[in-house]
Amino acid sequence: MSEPVLVVSDLTKKFGALTAVDGVSFEVRPGEILGIAGPNGSGKSTLFNAITRVPFAQTSGIVLFKGAQISNLANNEIAKRGIARTFQRESVFGNLSSIDNVLVTIEQTNRASAFAQKIALAEQALDLVGFPATLHNWQAGRLPVYLRKLVMIAGAVALDPAVLLLDEPASGLTVSEIDKMRALITHLNELGMTILLVEHVLSLLMEVSDRLMVLDQGRVIALGDPATVVANPTVIEAYLGTPA
């Protein structure tokens, strides 16, 4: 069996007296899709923040990427090494064109020096996520939610990551758009990207995830085969509450 590409060990993030992520540990194998679920406020996005150190670092704990510790690196160095992420909201520069949004990311890498090469990489990333070529020069802030999400994902993909962290990519989408997002996640995984997927759309998680991890109050309460995890009484109680 291949060695884990990502190892998270006893990761903790505290905000004063509040512990948002509480001793979380797990491993991810190359080519795996690890789904991450949990009630609102369970620490899912904070976990992504702590792993990538965007916008803040962990309080304690260790993250290993390809066997090397990255938990003491700057966030831009973590990205350059091959870990990219998206956010819950469609975090785009609204006044810039779609292609310029992706160019902002490429400027932070060493993938190309000539401007023409950078443009080609940006176009390639947008094409890869299925963004319409006719809208490359449209102002990103004028785009509908689904297309803004594609611009954000294209920016992450432009880093050529080995591990991609997707934070609720299906939120705010229609049923048909969720189907497209499902196909995109599967496609990126088939291209070789290991994916960590935070999502509230449980049907999407169940269909694409190799394993499912559930957080509650910052702690891992279940991790394993998706069908087994969702049938776990502890998971059901976390989502639905204790029966009266």
Characterize the bridge pairing of strands 194-198 and 68-69: unpaired
Confidence (pLDDT) at 242: 58
100 and 119 Cβ atoms separated by less than 8 Å: no
pLDDT (0 to 100) of residue 17:
96
**Low-confidence residues of the chain: pLDDT under 50:** 244
Res 109: pLDDT? 86
All domains of the chain, ordered by start, with CATH?
1-82+163-173+195-244 (3.40.50.300), 90-160 (no CATH)
According to DSSP, the residues that pair with 40 across neighbouring strands are: none
* pLDDT for res 244: 42
Q: Residue 159 has which token pair?
A: 């880093």
How high is the pLDDT of residue 106? 93
* Residue 1: predicted pLDDT: 66
Summarised one tens digit per residue, pLDDT across range 109-118 is: 888 789 999 9
Q: What amino acid occupies position 31?
A: G
In tens, the pLDDT along 61-99 reads 999 999 999 999 999 999 999 999 999 887 899 999 999
Q: What are the backbone angles phi and psi of residue 73, rounded to the nearest 5°?
A: -95, 160
Q: Could you write out the DSSP letters of every residue in the chain?
A: -PPPSEEEEEEEEEETTEEEEEEEEEEE-TT-EEEEE-STTSSHHHHHHHHHTSS---SEEEEEETTEE-TTS-HHHHHHHTEEE--SS----TTSBHHHHHHHHHTTSSS--SHHHHHHHHHHHHHHTT--GGGTTSBGGGS-HHHHHHHHHHHHHTT--SEEEEE-TTTT--HHHHHHHHHHHHHHHHTT-EEEEE-S-HHHHHHH-SEEEEEETTEEEEEE-HHHHHT-HHHHHHHH----
